[in-house]
């Protein structure tokens, strides 16, 4: 539930305003002259309904605009000389929501309908009716309500635009820094590791060609340099990712599974719940979790099968990746860069990540990412 600047929930504030306006209209209706007819009870009902309708002005501003306008015309026709206060609030809400044309058209209709309603009440002749309509509607207040709504709408737009500009600037600076790091790694570290790798492979090749036994330390250097080269290449790809290509999300998960199958890992995908749109950050993070989990399975788990489960829940998106690898129950996972990166992504979104060996053997990665469905 959203809150106002004072910290009071918006729904509570809306109902407080609606009840206050309804009470004001009722007191005004009781204190002023009105025709004692069979329309007296419907008039009080319209006074109350016109005020209480304001409780929904944020969700359905145009509908509330129409409802308060009809109520104002109705209780005028029933003989109640109460001002259209609720309609002024509705004008403010509708203009603030951006419905300027509809609001102008509805207000012109009100200017024409209220004199006729006042005339139909029997309390005024024609001249008094038109004068009463001007008093009830208070054209100056109507313009002021619309102007206030428009001013706040433009202020909110400027604030949103400023926020988007700050986010774009921060994103651009982050991209520039990421590419700078990638260039530095490529120009310095990649070259050094490549030299070590080539030298180790040459030494191993020469030793075997001479029929000599290759030292274990040299084989370890050769394998470590190969693994470092692969890891560094993956890091550089991650640093450059999303710079020239659109970000990947849940729609690209089947491609991950297809690539995993080509490498010999039997993978399955299960989607539960009703699929729906999720925030972009959640979408990208879910994809990264599946990507990193399958990468770890292929590199370290010695697994033959892996299952990916995506569950669309009412207030969260759950992702789970299981494998049948060599991880034993009770053993602690190695805190690698990939796992740390996943945890940081999930925590930044207010979610939870669990990565540990399964009781039945193998490894599991489970993440729960909160999703706001109220917007």
Across the chain, the runs of DSSP E, i.e. the strands, are 266-272, 305-312, 316-323, 352-357, 363-370
Edge-to-edge strand ranges of the sheet holding 363-370: 266-272, 305-312, 316-323, 363-370, 352-357
Q: Is the pTM here over 0.85, yes or no?
A: no
Residues of the chain with confidence (pLDDT) below 50? 1, 6-7, 129, 132-133, 135-137, 243-245, 374-375
CA atoms within 13 A on the CB side of 245: 8
pLDDT in the model for residue 166: 79
Residues 81, 123 contacting (CB under 8 angstroms): yes
Task: List Cα–Cα distances, 8 to 11, 17, 22, 124, 152, in angstroms.
Answer: 8, 13, 21, 44, 19
pLDDT in the model for residue 225: 79
Residues 279, 371 contacting (CB under 8 angstroms): yes
pLDDT in the model for residue 138: 57
pLDDT in the model for residue 332: 58
pLDDT in the model for residue 374: 47
pLDDT in the model for residue 243: 47
pLDDT in the model for residue 276: 85
pLDDT in the model for residue 297: 85
352 DSSP β-pair partners: 368
Structure tokens at 343: 């945890």
Count CB atoms within 10 A of the CB of residue 116: 15
Residues 29, 43 contacting (CB under 8 angstroms): yes
pLDDT in the model for residue 35: 53
pLDDT in the model for residue 208: 87
Query: Terminus-to-terminus CA distance in the chain, angstroms?
Result: 10
């Amino acid at each position: 539930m959203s809150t106002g600047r004072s910290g009071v929930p918006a729904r509570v504030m809306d109902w407080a305003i609606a009840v206050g306006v309804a009470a004001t209209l009722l007191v005004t209706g009781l204190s002023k002259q009105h025709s004692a007819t069979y329309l007296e009870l419907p008039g009080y009902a319209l006074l109350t309904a016109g005020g209480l309708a304001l409780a929904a002005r944020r969700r359905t501003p145009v509908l509330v605009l129409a409802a308060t306008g009809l109520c104002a015309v109705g209780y005028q026709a029933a003989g109640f000389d109460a001002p259209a206060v609720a309609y002024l609030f509705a004008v403010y809400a509708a203009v603030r929501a951006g419905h300027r044309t509809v609001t102008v058209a509805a207000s012109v209709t009100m200017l024409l309908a209220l004199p006729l309603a006042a005339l139909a009440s029997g309390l005024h002749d024609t001249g008094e009716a038109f004068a009463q309509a001007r008093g009830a509607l208070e054209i100056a207040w109507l313009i002021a309500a619309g102007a206030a709504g428009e001013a706040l709408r433009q202020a909110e737009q400027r604030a949103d635009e400023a926020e988007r500009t700050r986010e774009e600037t921060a994103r651009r600076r982050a991209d520039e820094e990421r590419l700078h790091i990638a260039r530095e790694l490529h120009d310095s570290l990649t070259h050094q590791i490549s030299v070590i790798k080539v030298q180790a492979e040459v030494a191993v090749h020469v030793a075997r060609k001479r029929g000599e036994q290759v030292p274990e330390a040299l084989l370890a250097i050769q394998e470590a340099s190969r693994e470092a080269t692969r890891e560094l290449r993956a890091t550089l790809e991650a640093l450059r990712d999303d710079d020239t290509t659109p970000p990947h999300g849940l729609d690209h998960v089947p491609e991950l599974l297809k690539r995993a199958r080509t490498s010999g890992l039997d993978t399955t995908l299960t989607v539960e719940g009703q699929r729906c749109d999720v925030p972009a950050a959640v979408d990208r993070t879910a994809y990264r979790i599946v990507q990193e989990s399958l990468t770890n399975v292929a590199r370290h788990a010695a697994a033959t099968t892996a299952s990916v489960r995506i569950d669309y829940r009412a207030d969260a998106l759950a992702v789970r990746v299981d494998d049948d690898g060599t991880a034993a129950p009770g053993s602690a996972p190695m805190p690698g860069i990939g796992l740390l990166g996943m945890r940081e992504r999930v925590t930044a979104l207010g979610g939870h990540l669990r990565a540990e060996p399964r009781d039945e053997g193998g490894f599991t990665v489970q993440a729960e990412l909160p999703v706001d469905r109220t917007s």
